[in-house]
Structure 1
Amino acid sequence: MVSVIQFALETKEEVDDGMSTSKYAVVDLETTGHSPSNGDRIIQIAIVFIENNKIIDTYMRYVHPQRPIPPFIHQLTSIGDEEVKDAAPFEKIAEEVADLLAGCIFVAHNTDFDVSFLQKELVRCGVSKWHGKTIDTVELAKIMYPTLPGYRLQDIAESLNISLKQAHRADDDAEATALFLLKAIKKIKNLPKETLNRMHERSFAMKSDVSTLFYEALKHVRGKETSNDYALFRGIPYLKSKPTTTSWPEPIEFPADNMAKDRIMQKIHPSYHVREGQAQLMDLTWQAFVEKKQIAVEIPTGAGKTIGYLVPALIRAYETKQPVVISTYTNHLVDTLAEEVQKLEKALEMTIPTTVVKGMANYISFGKFEELLHFNDEVYDDSITIMQLLVWLTETTTGDLDEVNVSGGGQLFIDRIRKRSMRVKKDERVADFYTHTLKNCQQSMVLLTNHSMLVNDQQRYDPLFHSISGLVIDEAHQMNQAAIRTHQQVFSYTKWKYVMSQLNGLSSCQLLFDIQDILKRFRFNHKISTERLQQSFNEFMFAFDESMLVLMNSNSNYDNKQSTRTVKPLSKRLRSNEIFDKVLRKMNEYISVTENYAMPIQNLSNELTLHEQAALNEWFYWVNEMKIKAGEWIELFLEQPKSNTTIWMEKDSRSLPGSLQIKKSPVNGSEVIRDFVDTFEEEAGIVWTSGTLTAGQQDRFVLDQAGLPSSVPLYTFDAPANFYEGAHTLIVEDMPDIQQVSNEEYIEAVADALIQTAVAIEGRVFALFLSHDMLKKTHQAVIDSESLQEEYMLIAQGVSSGSRHKLLKTFKQQKKAVLFGTTSFWEGVDVPSEQLSAVVVVRLPFTSPEEPLFKARSKALVAEHKNAFIHLGLPEAILRFRQGFGRLIRSSDEQGFFIILDRRIDTKSYGTSFLQALPTSSVKKVSLEGLVNEIENCYND
């Protein structure tokens, strides 16, 4: 970690580099709360002074708040009444602080809080307000480090290796913020001057005065040449790609016996030994690739699955000089796989040319991005996102937009610059990241992709995944779902409204004026008036809004009286309403008007300025967007769904019309899966693998759902001996019966169970729900009880802000936390035992019988004279149940509690099927009081 003294010594030689003449005061406050007007006061203030790129002085004072410090603040900051008992109140030091800050640029991590709070305190104490420039390091971090997973100070410190001894202490926070500022200034100075120029232009739109930093940097780089590390695309610097090697090393012999496998494992880690299941997976994978056949392998957590298939896959690729393809469920898991390959590459001291391949829309369209830079009517979210992208382009080797951490508003801008077409202009070809990715595929040993990309590849004119030596499908239990989602169509009210807000701009904003100026310059007398443009748009909008009212007001017995959320089929009668035809008619009229308005200048590209060309392209971009939307409208509302397709509506009465969605989906993905499997079957071996392929007595459930023939053998392996010795499964038998009591009564009991579990374990609890509604109500019930409020961090999916990844990261960072999660937290989440001690199953994870896809699949089973519960509902629930259990124990030395609140596991005949599916027989029935005793006894043993 970098300390203040160390950093000051390291930057001493840079004092006279001409970078900065400003003096910065980096301020952090600890307070009793957020509102001085309600009596909250400062309890600690720290200031770190920076001048000439080095720390020159520090200031720290405890402050007596003249009232007790709340317990929560004491726990958060470690500052209590004892620490401040001899400190002066702020009235005594207010003038001293004001004098210290005079003439400085005020720097803080969230200036909105620190500046505002300090100003109010100065005024209260009769001291003049501070005046000057501010720099918010949250904003600066987002701009200069656009790929960080989070922008809390502790997140930044962890990611950038900056010392932060104790978060939420003013002295430590101010020190870390100062070190970050120096790091950011140094990075700014090293940006290409072309990047600096563009960022300086947009920096005036930022909320704090970061423009001063870019101005100072521009003075420093004036006259300097841009580094050879960068290339330019239309004046925008980006990191040059390094050529991928085409040479293949000599083949490696497959380790036939366990001693040879051990030698490979010990290269990866000296203490590693090949495990029985892992050795068998290596042999099975190798045999499948050599014999070009399909197999399925269930191998549990802790058996070394990833290494088990990676080693034979790599050796086979070397031997055949053809790549191996490895597919997994999500892009996040793809990136995790890439990290595993890098570790293997380092351990084996060999080069493994690897390419991560995602869908085209994951990559930046460089041409579209450059065009949008010609417009200056951006909102704040657009401006900061552009600045983030300009920095990111000097660092990225992939062009994968998932790397950039942007705001919700910034995501709308990101969506506009996603790559949509393989067609690129000649000057863009050399800079196009997706084109580079496709070229790299031809020279790689390992191709890593996601299930959606894999099933879609066969629809490409020139498929990527051909002439391969083998295919591994990891997380195979998700392949059917991925195939369904890949072919699912979704109407989202909010997304349509966003497009419409942009279309409205075609008749009233700067873009329209730009098109009018071009028309005037070439002396075209236009027959279509701007009034006609606006009228046509208004007619379209009126019809659209009317159609939304029809959907929102469509009453049905599907409406859930216990929940605000409604999911119901979109009936043929509802879709036959003439309003949907009217929307399409008005939409097409508007498309025609807008297209014809700019048609006279469409073919004048060679005579237009860069700005004019960008304006014309932007105009037709939105025209084409509307054409795409018209096609979606036809498919969703006007076409008759195919026999293997279902269509439904989702809405939440608390947030209409924003929550309104229409979804159209194939009932299952087996046909799509068969299409791509057939293309590989004679060419390469296929290994389907997962930790959960079997579901109780339905041992081929996942394989049947994917449409695999019975001739595909299924191998299952147990976990290593004693692996689950630390897992304790507890059934709480005095919970109310979920089918006999109201939702409110059950939620109250769940909240009580969670509180007692969290207190006994001291946090580190996952609570797994099926329903967002029940999750939110339980979360609120726990808050209302005030039992955990002061000591525990309560993190709720859909309530707390942030992605699943961000919520999980926050959970890991807290000593005492409870995470309330729904479907996505049942699987694919790795948390070590010191950060997760209990998984609480609130309800057995059955899919609702009214869920549209489930209902359609059930109907098909009934038509085949099969019991839908036995052949679909139960095995699906058991698979999810097993995945939930898998969150708990990830290695043999971990201990944890798998707590089941749903009494049906004990009272219904199917309950034993769930328990028998678990890899441990250690199951106890306990009362809620007994649950607490059991936990305490285990910890005391």
Structure 2
Amino acid sequence: MLSDQIKSQIRTIHGRIKDSLPNYQPRAGQNQLVAEIAKIVSGSYHRHERIGLIEAGTGTGKSLAYMLGVIPYALAQKKKVVIATATVALQEQLVNKDLPFFQLHSKLLFEFSLVKGRARYACIERLRQQQRHPELFASANTAATDWQGLLDSWANRYWLGDKDSLNITLDEQSWQQIVADPLHCHKADRRHLNCPFHLARAEVEHADVLVVNHALLLADLASGNSVLPKPADCIYVIDEAHHLPDSAREFFAAQAQLSHNSQWLEKGGKTLQQLIQLLPATVMKDLIRLQDSCNELQSLLKPVERCIEEFKPRWFSDKTEYRFSDAALPKLLQQQAEPLAQASQKALQQLEKVQQQLQEHSSEQSLSSKQSLALLQELSYLYQKLEQQQNLWQLYAQPQDKTVQQARWVALHSTSQYVIAHATPLGVAGKLAQLLFDDAFAVVLCSATLTALNSFNYIKYDLGLTQFDGVQTLQVASPFAYAEKGQILLPKMQAEPTEARFTDELARVLPQYLPDNQASLVLFASYWQMQQVAEQLRAKGFSLLVQGEASRQALLQLHSENCQHGRSSILFGTQSFSEGLDLPGKLLTNLVITKLPFAVPTSPLEEALAEAISKKGGNAFVQLTIPATAKKLVQACGRLLRQEQDEGRIVILDRRLVTKTYGSAMLNALPPFRRQIDY
């Protein structure tokens, strides 16, 4: 329970923060957030299931609220705080601004650290080898790279050794030559002790607050907590939590090539032959076992490749993707799945032993650094390929007869013509419950858009929280005076957005809703429609900033300059401009949404999700499409007011909000702007 001492401490810290913020405005919503979060994590509502789902509108100050509600209690209980975000932008804001501010003014003694995946760090030893032996890695990209300059920057701490603080432009191929992968950059080798990755991991042990992204959190939970403390010792704050189900689907998905596998397997065989000649007899048994496992894998993949060649003309006659309906694989693939999963797993385990032996002999300098580096490079490539096969066949081996739990499809690579197989879980509720919610000390999930149609039921189902009695839900409205500051206008439109004539009507009607000397953002549901309308408006003399015609940053810079000089500025964008785009004050006063953001179920995953709902007697449009669209519409409308003093208007040119039965529910889920409906 929350002791009086902790309550008093939270109030004192809140007071200090109020005093230190210029022009501080008291917010009842933020006070409510702090109190409820503190009650949830302290077990005031449920002793064992300390889980909260919190939707906090724009401007409620939720970052400060969860720091106040969680950190004092966590320090008193000797629990680690893990804050997980979906975007790099929020991570940077927390680490560079919010946490330092809270640390300074709370006067609490705690350390915080940004925890990034291994692939974000360089291996300094690999970097040195690049500089010493450029002939091993020479390519058009890497030959021109100033490796010595990077080494000097690391030595002088101008560069922190990670991808995000690079002071030169480095393409992905060059980065992969120096990345701290587990095969090259091993802590057991003394040369790697001071590599950026291992130094960063050492900080984790001493930090009280750890900031991660959703992918790293999921990877750590799935690996049995190799980086973060075990869940029972953590209070998790999952920010941008509406992204967590999709992040989990992506993490637990797999893909691997089904054709042309002999190329990488034969290349791996040549590397093993080299190792047999170079390494001592004591390693021979492991090398021969690995070679046998690779040969077994190759023999199991051969009939799969023959099967693929037979099916290719049928699968890819008029498209580059083919989905297996009900996740039913061709008979041969289904038969081979379990043996392939086992063979690739065995090969991976044996490869790890061989890699360890190679590391030991290279550190003892029985092999030259040049030799060991080249061999480790080859083993790293082999490991990646084996891991892809193992992940894919493990998913394909899972029976899907009674209930379909996966989307399975194959795709034809546009240039290489390789056939790539995919598997993605339809739901991740069970995984999240098992890995996170069952064992965590406490979990607070928050976002500006967690509900769909004003209900938490959809996100509860997606996250696997329907079985937990202790889940607390809370909606805290934005402090913005929506009715005073903004208006939603629904002009009368003649055409349905599904009709062909809608695009021409848009181009004809839009000029009436693009006022002079104002900042407008026009959101479209498709690139094609955006380009068609832009072409017609430019013919009428409109100056437009259109997504895709320049980088996002360049467009926003031009938009900002127009607004600073009091000129009209019209941004045209699609779905990616409706979330995470911050245009405060005069940078946005007129938002036009041309069409409800219904996602067309064209991806194999979306098709499989809709198919699974229909098979159970449900309605995919009602259960899947409408809630998802309602949430996207709320996010789009959230672009208008970003600060309390902002004001403006939202124009929605989609008559379905009035003519369809679901329209009123979508409208009622929007912030309480004044409404003008011209129907």
| TM-score w.r.t. length of structure 2 | 0.76
Residues 777 and 844 (structure 1), Cα distance of their counterparts in 2 relative to 1, 3 Å cut: closer
Alignment match of 2:162 (pick from 382, 400, 416): 400
* Partner residue in 1 for 2:197: 434
Amino acid at match of 1:401: K
- 2:671 maps to 919
Distance 1:369 1:502 in 2: 25
Matching residue within 358, 361, 381 for 1:622: 381
Q: Distance in 2 between matches of 1:838 and 1:761?
A: 11
Task: Quote the residue 1:765 is aligned against.
Answer: 521
Distance 1:896 1:283, change over 3 A: same
Give yes or no for the alignment of 1:447 onto 2:173.
Answer: no
1:883 maps to 2:644: no
2:239 and 2:594 mapped to 1: Cα distance? 28
Structure 1 residue 889, shift from structure 2 partner: 1.2
What does residue 658 of structure 2 align with?
A: 906
Query: Which residue is equivalent to 1:487?
Result: 252
Tell me if 1:465 matches 2:226.
Answer: no
Q: For residues 665 and 30 of structure 2, what CA distance do their matches in structure 1 show? A: 27
Contact 1:750 1:778 in 2 (8 A): no
Shift of 1:916: 0.2
Distance (whole Å) between structure 2 residues aligned to residue 788 and residue 656 of structure 1: 41
Counterpart contact for 2:41–2:235, Cα < 8 Å: yes
CA distance in 2, matches of 1:567, 1:747: 31
One of 110, 113, 116 as aligned partner of 1:358: 116
Question: Are the aligned partners of 1:268 and 1:344 in contact in 2 as well (CA < 8 Å)?
Answer: no
Once residues 428 and 367 of structure 1 are traced to their aligned partners in structure 2, the CA distance between those partners, rounded to angstroms, is: 7
Q: How does 1:328-343 map to 2 (within 5 A)?
A: 328-339=85-96, 340-343=98-101
Deviations 1:566-597 (A, max 9, x none): 67447878755789989x9xx99xx99xx9xx
Superimposed CA distance per residue, residues 864-897 of structure 1 (whole angstroms, 9 cap, x where no aligned partner): 5544433332222211211111122111211233
Compared CA separation, residues 700 and 515, structure 1 to 2 (3 A): closer
Helix, strand or coil at the partner of 1:455:
helix
Distance 1:578 1:440, change over 3 A: closer
8 Å CA contact 1:580–1:637 kept in 2: the answer is no
In structure 1, what is the equivalent of residue 471 of structure 2?
Answer: 712
The superposition leaves residues 26-65 of structure 1 with CA deviations (integer Å, 9 ceiling, x where unpaired) of xxxxxxxxxxxxxxxxxxxxxxxxxxxxxxxxxxxxxxxx
Distance 1:503 1:866, change over 3 A: closer
Inter-partner Cα distance in structure 1 for 2:405 and 2:384: 25
1:737-752 residue pairs with structure 2 within 5 A?
Answer: 737-739=496-498, 741-742=499-500, 745-751=501-507
Whole-angstrom CA distance in 2 between matches of 1:902 and 1:820 = 17
CA distance in 2, matches of 1:266, 1:695: 33
Deviation at 1:703, TM superposition (A): 1.9
Q: Structure 1 pair 820/614, CA: closer, same or farther in 2 (3 Å)? A: same
Q: Write the letter of the residue equivalent to 2:139.
A: V
**Which of 461, 468, 477 matches 2:242?**
477
- Change in Cα spacing, 1:336 to 1:882, as seen in structure 2 (3 Å) is same
Asked if 1 retains the 8 angstrom alpha-carbon contact of 2:487 and 2:674, the reply is yes
Please state how far the C-alpha of 1:518 moved relative to its aligned partner.
Answer: 8.4
2:138 — aligned with what? 378
Query: CA 1:454 to 1:721, structure 2 compared with 1: closer, same or farther past 3 Å?
Result: same
- Tell me which of 547, 550, 554 is aligned to 1:795: 547
Structure 1 residues 488 and 393: CA distance shift in structure 2, 3 A = farther
For residues 567 and 801 of structure 1, what CA distance do their matches in structure 2 show?
34
* SS of residue matched to 1:779: helix
- Partners of 1:633 and 1:325 lie apart in 2 by 30
Structure 1 gap ranges (5+): 1-250, 520-536, 928-941
Q: Structure 2 residue aligned with 1:411, among 153, 161, 172?
A: 172
Counterpart residue number, 2:436: 677
- Equivalent in the alignment of 1:420: 181
Amino acid at match of 2:175: I
Deviations 1:594-634 (A, max 9, x none): x9xx99x9797433332222223223333333433443564
The structure with higher relative contact order (CA 8 Å, sep 6+) is: 2
Letter in 2 for 1:736: A
TM alignment of 1:627-666, pairs within 5 A = 627-631=386-390, 634=393, 643-649=403-409, 662-666=421-425
SS in 2 for 1:834: helix
1:856: Cα distance to partner? 3.8
1:818 maps to 571
**How far 1:687 moved relative to its partner?**
1.8
Q: Which moved more, 1:626-635 or 1:830-839?
A: 626-635
Q: What is aligned with 1:840?
A: 592
| Cα distance per residue 1:527-553 (max 9 Å; x no partner) | xxxxxxxxxx9xx99x98995896586
- Indicate yes or no: 2:481 matched with 1:722: yes
Alpha carbons 2:590, 2:640 under 8 Å: kept: yes
Over residues 761-789 of structure 1, what are the superposed CA-to-partner deviations in whole Å (9 max), with x where a residue is unaligned? Answer: 655414242xxxx3145225524653488
SS of 2:210's partner is: strand
Quote the Cα distance in structure 2 between the aligned partners of 1:921 and 1:344. 33
d(CA) in 1 for partners of 2:417 and 2:523? 28
Q: Please give the alpha-carbon distance, in whole angstroms, between the structure 2 residues aligned to 1:256 and 1:818.
A: 47
Indicate the SS of the match to 1:447: strand
Q: Which whole-Å CA distance do the structure 1 matches of 2:118 and 2:393 have between them?
A: 25
Aligned position for 1:691: 448
Could you say what the CA RMSD is over the residues aligned between the two structures, in angstroms? 4.7
Displacement after TM superposition at 1:758 (Å): 4.9
1:382 is paired with a residue of what secondary structure? coil
Work out the CA distance in 2 between the residues paired with 1:289 and 1:573.
44
Please say if residues 55 and 476 of structure 2, whose CA atoms lie closer than 8 Å, have aligned partners that are also in contact.
Answer: yes
Measure, in 1, the Cα distance between the counterparts of 2:332 and 2:375: 37
Question: Please, which of 849, 865, 869 is the counterpart of residue 621 of structure 2?
Answer: 869
Q: Deviations over 1:869-928 (max 9, x none)?
A: 33332222211211111122111211233232222112101100111001124222359x
Q: Displacement of 1:719 after TM fit?
A: 2.0
1:782 aligns with 2:534: yes
Give, in angstroms, the shift of residue 272 of structure 1. 1.2
Distance 2:379 2:99 in 1: 43
Cα 1:663–1:757 change in 2 (3 A) is farther
Paired amino acid for 2:502: Y
Which sits farther off after the overlay, 465-474 or 569-578? 569-578
CA distance in 2, matches of 1:839, 1:318: 44
Distance 1:789 1:378 in 2: 52
Query: Hey, what does 2:291 align to over in structure 1?
Result: none
TM-score by length of 1: 0.57
Q: How many residues align?
A: 621
Structure 1 distance, partners of 2:146, 2:163, is 12
Uncovered stretches (5+) of structure 2, i.e. residues with no partner: 280-297, 564-568
The residue that corresponds to 2:282 in the other structure is none
Look up the match of 1:23: none
Following TM superposition, by how much is the alpha carbon of 1:670 offset from its aligned partner in structure 2, in angstroms?
0.8
Q: 1:548 to 1:780 in 2, by over 3 A?
A: farther
- Report if the CA contact (8 A) 1:267-1:348 is conserved: no
Residues 716 and 624 of structure 1: CA distance in aligned 2, closer, same or farther (over 3 Å): closer
* Mean CA deviation greater in 894-903 or 913-922: 894-903
Deviation of residue 261 (structure 1)?
A: 6.6
Preserved CA contact (<8 Å) 2:256 2:420: yes
Give the partner amino acid of 2:521.
V
Query: 1:289-323 CA distances to partner (integer Å, 9 max, x unpaired)?
Result: 22262222222111111111112322223333432
Q: Distance in 2 between matches of 1:607 and 1:706?
A: 52
C-alpha contact 1:575 1:638 (8 A) present in aligned 2: no
What amino acid does structure 2 have at the position aligned with 1:420? D
Instruction: Evaluate the alpha carbon distance shift between residue 646 and residue 437 of structure 1 in structure 2; reply closer, same or farther with a 3 A threshold.
Output: same
Q: Does 1:827 align with 2:579?
A: yes
Higher Cα Rg, which structure: 1
Distance 1:351 1:840 in 2: 48
Shift of 1:720: 1.8
